[in-house]
Chains A and B, each alone.
Chain A
């Protein structure tokens, strides 16, 4: 079951006006893996994520998710596909007029046959799994801290137990304890649900703690993909600097060498 690609990007080209963000970008996300996507600020990680989930039109190339080509789908097919993935945006993107629990209940409303009590119970479960305390259920997003908003965003992304989750910098702005709890949570959920995770991050600890493979975005394409151990061997100066810089060394310290 593991191994077949759930997301296949080939020759992707996106641009805003004459600013080309991606050109000839290839990327695979395999079933059951956690793929870390790294790259400098402004290299188009968020744009890539948005293109894959169909929020950003692309000017060339193909994107296949779960065997279906994004951009050629009819309305109902698209909706069915959207229910098989969950997206957590860079700053939560919670609906500000709804409480946290109501936010998580929104995707559950699409499920026929759930009673109100079940919907509420499931939402509360997802919120608790995302590591929020009970009283956050009734809070509005504006009452939460940035890290709590991210957790609520994750709870909403996981509401329908999707096959793929897209996470945009889930641990940015979290305290180290919260961040490593978040890493563990992602790995636990992946193991329990056989999730495929597309994880945009700048956090080297997250890369070490949970990613099976890493894809480096630079120069408008995926420059290198592979395990963390393979990344350490890449020659490209930026990649080398990224994985051998002082922060990278601090993150690798204490982790047994993988090769």
Chain B
């Protein structure tokens, strides 16, 4: 350290036999100089001009370890007494359990935590539905303005990114598909390929993933920062119902908007596919539309059925994470990123479950 100060603290330690004679400043900056002196040595302090609590702490420690102190001035003795009185008393240590018990304990806690998480999500779903019921019974309390605001935020504002993404997916599918199908002279089936994959799977799944990234994080951040500043507690004491005022409009907006976004995604995806088929394979738009008419409408239905379910998953996970934010900003950041990861993961799991279900049902 370069202290540009004339009164740089300095301590000199002279060892004479079993005694260490100190002179100068016995302060936190010079404490390291004492490390070579054994604990039990006698210490002479007559030459110490300044001592701080760190020095006093070191002396108190040495005195407890059997060292003797001499030459202590009254002023320093007072400080030493103050520090000795304030010395912390450690709590009795708890015996650490054996390693296998810790592993079992950790695993058990994780599993129980995961089950409790699922339970809490179910509870939030229930609370949202109950809030919906209450809102519909007392229409005057229904948070309509908020609902429309969130529809704009999660729906309208997401249209550009969803449209561009789906258009590009359509382009990619047409390009890759035509390359393969040309080898069999079955170029025209590229229309079926595009239509089925976009309508049934990709359109809605990718939209849901984008919305999960955009909206789940925003839900957690907005509800979480209110939770952090105790605004939610304040609402409860004022007789406002956070489920009705905060959670319901956000989740409901998602449920209303995600099918529409899915539709936008399907249309722009098909558009991208049509454009690319025309350029790459020379399939004119008229032919494309004609082939499209042959694709079973059930694919579009399957895609759209999934949308509200994905929306519920995203909304409930986002709001739940927001409500779990604690008093510190760090938990806000942690919950926000965990909400996005959980929401995307849950959407993909739900999509897999839907695939199995529709395969069994034969749709």
Contacts and interface: CB of A to CB of B under 8 A. Distances in A.
Interface of A: 76-77, 80, 83, 96-97, 108, 110-115, 118, 121-122, 124-129, 134-135, 137, 140-142, 158, 160-161, 188, 191-193
B61 A128 contact: no
B54 A122 contact: yes
- Residue of B32, B33, B53 with most chain A CB atoms under a 10 A cut-off: B53
A134 B91 contact: yes
B87 interface: yes
Interface string B1-21: 111110000000000000000
Interface string B196-226: 0000000000000000000000000000000
A142 B326 contact: yes
Contacts of A83: 1, 3
A76 B28 CA distance: 19
Interface in B50-102: 52-54, 57-58, 61, 78-79, 82-83, 86-91
Contacts of B33: 113
Given A134-B88, A160-B28, A161-B53, A121 B61 contact: yes
B330 interface: yes
B31 A112 contact: no
Contact of B53 (A96, A97, A129): A129
Give 8 closest A-B pairs by Cβ, nearest first. Answer: A113-B32, A161-B52, A128-B88, A142-B328, A80-B3, A129-B86, A192-B79, A96-B328
A122 B28 contact: yes
B34 to A, nearest CB: 9
A193 B53 contact: yes
A121 B329 contact: no
Given A129-B53, A142-B328, 6 more contacts: A113-B32, A114-B31, A124-B88, A125-B83, A134-B88, A140-B328
A125 B329 CA distance: 28
Interface residues of B, number: 34
A111 B91 contact: no
Contacts of A192: 53, 78-79, 82
A113 B31 contact: yes
22 contacts: A76-B4, A80-B3, A96-B329, A97-B330, A110-B1, A111-B31, A113-B31, A113-B32, A115-B32, A118-B31, A122-B28, A122-B54, A125-B88, A128-B87, A129-B83, A129-B86, A134-B89, A142-B328, A161-B27, A188-B82, A192-B53, A193-B53
A115 B39 CA distance: 14
A42 to B, nearest CB: 20
Nearest to B327: A142
A216 B263 CA distance: 66
Nearest to B328: A142
Contacts of B355: none
- Residue of B2, B29, B35, B54 with most chain A CB atoms under a 10 A cut-off: B54
Contacts of B23: none
B82 to A, nearest CB: 5
Given A113-B33, A125-B88, A192-B79, A80 B2 contact: yes
B331 interface: yes
Given A76-B4, A122-B28, A141 B88 contact: no
A108 B57 CA distance: 14
Nearest to B330: A96
Contacts of A188: 82
A141 B327 CA distance: 9
Nearest to A140: B328
Nearest to B4: A77
Contacts of A80: 1-5
Contact of A115 (B35, B78, B331): B35
Nearest to B5: A80
B331 to A, nearest CB: 7
Contacts of A113: 31-33, 35
Contact of A108 (B28, B78, B83, B326): B28
B243 to A, nearest CB: 25
Contacts of B32: 111-115
Contacts of B329: 96
B6 to A, nearest CB: 10
Contacts of A137: 88
A161 B28 contact: yes
A121 B57 contact: yes
B89 to A, nearest CB: 6
A114 B326 CA distance: 36
A118 B55 CA distance: 11
B91 to A, nearest CB: 5
Contact of B90 (A110, A134, A140, A193): A134
Contacts of A127: 88
A122 to B, nearest CB: 5
Contacts of A141: 328
Nearest to A107: B28
Nearest to B27: A161
- Residue of A111, A115, A127 with most chain B CB atoms under a 10 A cut-off: A111
Contacts of A110: 1
A129 B1 CA distance: 27
Contacts of B326: 142
Nearest to B35: A115
Contacts of A122: 28, 54, 57
Contacts of B29: 111
Contacts of A129: 53, 83, 86
